[in-house]
């Protein structure tokens, strides 16, 4: 096992990783930007190193500074968290070349899954069902016109290296196609530094369902069931549940087995999430995240497995101590993302927390880095933390979540707490009847 791990991240996920390390008896090194010197991750870690100025590109994205910080402090491994450098294969490679363990998959797998075209090819070859689409990259309008009849309108143009729900273009008719190809290529280059695009069938009313994977370096791989992340705004998840209200035991076993076989076929290691759209009883792979995800706690709550500790253990070369048959999903968990945003306009709401009271009680978990008097820096994303609630049934879980949200006080900035409260009371949520468009087209409309 490692003696010391450097955490190349900030906010609640940095705290989450520090806590897991403490329980494993591992020393921790926090890195921080000048804007984060008063952050809890800096205070809770055993050591800390300032890696640059406030903007992420000058600190949390500075590979050289982070690797130097690991060298100076003698950290044997780097945990990238999510966002920032977590899915950067160049960073993963650089870390390993310095004789430091990257707590994540092999750099080549980070690279394949970072390109949605390569990822879909690899998954197709391993028997995973895909959203119908172009056989690969689409370079020109002429090429798009050739593949369009097979795919059928409406279609979705996506950036191969896209992320964060950015840069997707819906195309309803052929006369929109030329412009959409041009715009998508420009946006892909501007946002992701690579203009490669591809085309998918635009599914009308799917749910977003993803499977959590965990693999060691000895050929063992398990799945930990699904999460339903259909409650989204601008393709960004806001509320997640495990299990999905629409996935049966048989569906879970079949899809889980498909994912495990694919991961074993690749020789994948670490944690990962295979994301699918689900429509009319069929699952269609869209992409894979080769890192821990924001919504991992709901899986922890229903399986009782600490995903970050497992991630660290398998990175250190340990074997999984359980098999698929040992994993049982119990009860229901929901996570609400508590963003510092106006709950009606979704405008960011930076500022200082003037009063903070988190809810508590059996089955109520808060993963957050904020505290009374905390000043939210404007340089990073708006996630203040996550409220995760577990109960034996979905109805109990919604009930408990509703009380927890009533009790949750964050003064000084606007947050999504009132939006989540309204969600818990909505008949569609209570019935579990929603898809990826529901929040925007029905609830917020």
Q: Nearer Cβ to ligand ADP, position 66 or 255? A: 255
Distances (CA, A) of 142 to 154, 237, 368, 415, 441: 18, 34, 49, 46, 33
Binding pattern to ligand ADP, positions 287-316, x when CB under 6 A?
Answer: x-----------------------------
Long-range CB pairs of 26-31 (<8 Å, 24+ gap) are 26/1, 26/2, 26/312, 27/3, 28/4, 29/4, 29/5, 29/69, 29/70, 29/73, 29/75, 31/6, 31/7, 31/59, 31/60, 31/65, 31/66, 31/69
The enclosing H or E element of 71 equals: helix 63-73
Please state, in angstroms and rounded to a whole number, the distance separating the CA atoms of residues 385 and 387: 7
Beta bridge partners of 355: 411
Nearest distance in Å: CB 162, ligand ADP: 5
Select from 27, 62, 208, 365 the one that contacts ligand ADP (CB under 6 A).
Answer: 208
Nearest distance in Å: CB 120, ligand ADP: 10
Residues within window 226-245 making contact with ligand ADP, judged by CB under 6 A = 232, 235
Q: Nearer Cβ to ligand ADP, position 115 or 200? A: 200
Nearest distance in Å: CB 140, ligand ADP: 21
Site for ligand ADP contains 160 (CB under 6 A): no
Q: Nearer Cβ to ligand ADP, position 393 or 441? A: 441
Which residues lie closer than 8 Å to 309 by C-beta, 6 or more apart?
A: 20, 23, 24
- Other Cβ atoms closer than 10 A to 397: 22
Q: Nearer Cβ to ligand ADP, position 178 or 275? A: 275
Site for ligand ADP contains 131 (CB under 6 A): yes
Q: Pick from 147, 7, 157, 144: which is nearest to 84 by CA? A: 7
Nearest distance in Å: CB 324, ligand ADP: 26
Select from 80, 83, 162, 225 the one that contacts ligand ADP (CB under 6 A).
Answer: 162
Site for ligand ADP contains 156 (CB under 6 A): yes
Annotated catalytic residues are 291
Q: Nearer Cβ to ligand ADP, position 272 or 358? A: 272
Site for ligand ADP contains 367 (CB under 6 A): no
Site for ligand ADP contains 164 (CB under 6 A): yes
Nearest distance in Å: CB 227, ligand ADP: 12
Site for ligand ADP contains 114 (CB under 6 A): no
Q: Which stretch binds ligand ADP (CB under 6 A): 103-111, 137-145, 157-165, 402-410?
A: 157-165
Q: Is the separation of the CB atoms in 177 and 148 below 8 Å? A: yes
Burial of 400 (0-12, 13-18, 19+ CB in 10 A): buried
Rounded to the nearest 5°, which phi and psi values hold at 62?
A: -85, 95
Q: Is the separation of the CB atoms in 232 and 439 below 8 Å? A: yes
Binding pattern to ligand ADP, positions 241-280, x when CB under 6 A?
Answer: ----------------------------------x-x---
Select from 30, 199, 286, 388 the one that contacts ligand ADP (CB under 6 A).
Answer: 286
The enclosing H or E element of 233 equals: strand 221-233
Please state, in angstroms and rounded to a whole number, the distance separating the CA atoms of residues 111 and 196: 15
Q: Which stretch binds ligand ADP (CB under 6 A): 55-63, 117-125, 162-170, 335-343?
A: 162-170
Site for ligand ADP contains 420 (CB under 6 A): no
Beta bridge partners of 387: 336, 366
Site for ligand ADP contains 417 (CB under 6 A): no
- Other Cβ atoms closer than 10 A to 419: 23
Q: Is the separation of the CB atoms in 47 and 32 below 8 Å? A: no
Site for ligand ADP contains 197 (CB under 6 A): no
Pairing of strands 101-102, 4-7: unpaired
Tell me, rounded to whole angstroms, the distance of Cα 426 from its chain centroid. 25
Distances (CA, A) of 5 to 92, 173, 197, 216: 15, 52, 37, 19
Nearest distance in Å: CB 208, ligand ADP: 4
Reduced to 3 states, what is the DSSP secondary structure of residue 205? Answer: coil
Q: Nearer Cβ to ligand ADP, position 163 or 348? A: 163
Q: Nearer Cβ to ligand ADP, position 201 or 332? A: 201
Q: Nearer Cβ to ligand ADP, position 285 or 374? A: 285
Residues within window 28-57 making contact with ligand ADP, judged by CB under 6 A = none
Q: Which stretch binds ligand ADP (CB under 6 A): 44-52, 174-182, 196-204, 422-430?
A: 196-204
Binding pattern to ligand ADP, positions 425-444, x when CB under 6 A?
Answer: -----------x--------
The contact set with ligand ADP (CB under 6 A) reads 131, 156, 162-166, 200-203, 206, 208, 232, 235, 275, 277, 286-287, 436
């Amino acid at each position: 096992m490692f003696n010391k791990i450097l955490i190349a991240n900030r906010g609640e996920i940095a705290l989450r990783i520090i806590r897991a390390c403490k329980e494993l008896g591992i020393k921790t090194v926090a890195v921080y930007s000048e804007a984060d010197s008063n952050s809890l991750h800096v205070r809770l870690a055993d050591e800390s190193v300032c890696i640059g100025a406030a903007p992420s590109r000058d600190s949390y994205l500075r590979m050289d500074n982070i690797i130097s910080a690991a060298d100076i402090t003698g950290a044997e491994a780097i945990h990238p968290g999510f966002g920032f450098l977590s899915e950067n294969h160049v960073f993963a490679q650089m870390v390993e070349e310095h004789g430091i363990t990257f707590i994540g998959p092999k750099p080549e797998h980070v690279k394949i899954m970072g390109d949605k075209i390569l990822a879909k090819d690899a998954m197709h070859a391993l028997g995973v069902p895909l959203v119908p689409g172009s056989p690969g990259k689409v370079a020109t309008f002429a090429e798009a016109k050739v593949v369009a009849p097979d795919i059928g309108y409406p279609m979705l143009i996506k950036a191969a290296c896209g992320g964060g729900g950015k840069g997707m273009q819906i195309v309803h008719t052929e006369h929109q196609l030329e412009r959409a190809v041009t715009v998508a290529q420009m946006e892909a280059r501007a946002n992701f530094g690579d203009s490669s695009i591809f085309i998918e069938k635009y599914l009308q009313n799917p749910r977003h369902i993803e499977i959590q994977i965990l693999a060691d370096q000895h050929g063992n791989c398990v799945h930990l069931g699904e999460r339903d992340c259909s409650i989204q705004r601008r393709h960004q998840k806001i509320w997640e549940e495990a299990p999905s209200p629409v996935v049966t035991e048989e569906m879970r076993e079949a899809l889980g087995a498909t994912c495990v076989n694919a991961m074993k076929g690749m020789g994948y290691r670490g944690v990962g999430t295979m994301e699918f759209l689900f429509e009319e009883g069929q699952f269609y792979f869209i992409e894979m995240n080769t890192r821990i995800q924001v919504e991992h706690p709901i899986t922890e709550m229903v399986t009782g497995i600490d995903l970050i500790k497992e991630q660290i253990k398998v990175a250190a070369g340990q074997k999984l101590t359980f098999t698929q048959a040992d994993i049982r999903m119990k009860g229901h968990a929901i996570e609400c993302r508590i963003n510092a945003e106006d709950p009606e306009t979704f405008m960011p709401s930076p500022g200082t927390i003037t009063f903070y009271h988190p809810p508590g009680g059996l089955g109520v978990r808060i993963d957050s880095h904020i505290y009374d008097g905390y000043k939210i820096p404007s340089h990073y994303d708006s996630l203040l933390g996550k409220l995760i609630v577990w109960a034996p049934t979905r109805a109990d879980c919604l009930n408990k979540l509703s009380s927890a949200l009533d009790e949750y006080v964050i003064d000084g900035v606007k947050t999504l707490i009132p939006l989540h409260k309204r969600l818990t009371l909505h008949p569609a949520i209570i019935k579990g009847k929603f898809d990826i468009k529901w929040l925007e087209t029905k609830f917020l409309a």
